Chains A and B, each alone.
Chain A
Amino acid sequence: GQNIDQPTEMTATEGAIVQINCTYQTSGFNGLFWYQQHAGEAPTFLSYNVLDGLEEKGRFSSFLSRSKGYSYLLLKELQMKDSASYLCAVFDSNYQLIWGAGTKLIIKP
């Protein structure tokens, strides 16, 4: 079966750095997405990785290792507004999106 694993919940301090991990086992791979979802709102696109390595976009970076079936989202200089759920999703060989259950990130002052 296809599976994506993420931690259920993480807590971090304002101004700090946090890394949210995602491991996947899917039938094929055509890219990995990270989305942010604030409570009661729609998911919004953060990043897309299809090749190994680090993609940096401001305070957010996303890393991919296809050989390990592993990705992480790195958030720097955390702000209170970063409190949200972070969803990892993988396109499989048929371009079907497989979703993780999401990681709820709590930021404390």
Chain B
Amino acid sequence: DVKVTQSSRYLVKRTGEKVFLECVQDMDHENMFWYRQDPGLGLRLIYFSYDVKMKEKGDIPEGYSVSREKKERFSLILESASTNQTSMYLCASSPGGTEASPLHFGNGTRLTVT
């Protein structure tokens, strides 16, 4: 089974802090994604990556950046956390290619910015 591991389940940070959310997958997947999930809004794509050192903006990239130095690791960075970034953050991965493949999700990081 694919395992996607997010480094923290819960995080509490202060406004203005730099925040790192780490995600590691163990199935050699090319594609990795960062979503945020808020009640009533569904999953919203922040950034995604189809290969090492490659990144693409999703629907809501403002205030975020990402890093993919190794194939198995995809990091989400909040340069200066704000209260409107309080949310559940979900990392996901999938195999490469154009064939539709289901995403495999990590357990999520619930971030609170105070």
Contact = CB atoms under 8 A, between A and B. Distances in A.
Nearest to A34: B102
Interface string A22-52: 0000000011010000001111110010100
Contacts of A87: 42-43
Contacts of B43: 43, 87, 89, 99
A101 interface: yes
Contacts of A91: 100
Contacts of B106: 42
A44 B102 CA distance: 9
B60 interface: no
Contacts, number: 42
Q: DSSP class of A's interface residues: helix, strand, loop or mixed?
A: loop
Interface string A92-109: 000111011110000000
Interface size class of B (residues with CB under 8 A): 10 to 19
Interface residues of A, number: 23
Contact of B100 (A8, A31, A42): A31
Interface in B67-90: 90
A102 B42 contact: yes
Interface string B32-48: 00000000111111000
B100 A50 contact: yes
Contact of A100 (B42, B44, B98): B42
A56 B48 CA distance: 32
Nearest to B94: A97
A42 B90 contact: yes
B42 A48 contact: no
Interface of B: 4, 40-45, 90, 98, 100, 102-108
9 contacts: A31-B100, A40-B108, A43-B90, A43-B103, A45-B104, A89-B43, A99-B43, A101-B40, A102-B42
